[in-house]
Amino acid sequence: MTLEVWSATKQENGHWLFEWTADSGDPFNIYLDGELLDEVTGDSYEAEVDGYDTSPPPLEIVADESGEESESLLNPPYAVLQWRGVSGADAYLVEQLRNGNWVEVKTIMDQSVGYYSFKTETLTDSESSSFRVSAQDVQGNTGTPITFTFYVVRNPAPPEVDLTIDSGDIVVDEA
């Protein structure tokens, strides 16, 4: 289960401290771009990742319920949407574009933390998938949405290459 509510604060040493609500001793796996960074126990993780000076790295914090590695680390079949919390928001409406219409897939209640995330269901291979997130106030009014678009290719076709041997040399002809 991917955590949807967490906070991240920049530390003086340049690292990002991620914190979430968990029982002491709960195991979590920390992923960045589908690669396992660390396995932690508890309710925090300090990330030392270059290139994230003004916003935290898009980590995925996954409860380790099975004790086994999660599915397809190098080519995850899903995407993780992350966004910064908005002052005055009561909830965040997550929608997916399906057959030309925006369809609600999840409402995440505001927890007054810095950042939120949502792990999509399995995305269709070799198809574009679009999602949007809107902040919603207590009356149900929505703000300007942010849009995420993904194109997932987990099983790309191999390149078309012909190898021939000419006078002992290998000649590569890329189609």
Report pLDDT digits (tens) over 144-167: 999 999 887 766 666 676 666 666
**Quick one: tokens of 98?**
């399906």
Residue 70: the pLDDT is 44
Domain boundaries, the chain: 5-63, 80-152
**Other C-beta atoms lying within 10 Å of the C-beta of residue 82:** 19
Amino acid identity at 132: R
Residue 69: the pLDDT is 46
Query: Per-residue confidence of the chain (175 residues) as pLDDT tens digits?
Result: 666 677 888 888 989 988 888 776 778 888 887 778 888 888 889 988 888 888 888 888 887 765 444 444 546 678 889 898 889 999 999 999 999 999 999 999 988 877 888 889 888 888 889 999 999 999 999 999 999 998 877 666 666 766 666 666 666 666 5
Cα R_g (the chain), whole angstroms: 20
Residues in the chain: 175
Architecture of domain 80-152: Sandwich (2.60)
Sort strands 5-10 and 169-174 into parallel, antiparallel or unpaired: unpaired
pTM here is: 0.55
Find out whether 47 and 56 touch, Cβ atoms under 8 Å: yes
Among the listed residues 61, 71, 63, the one whose alpha carbon sits nearest the alpha carbon of residue 116: 61
Residue 115: the pLDDT is 84
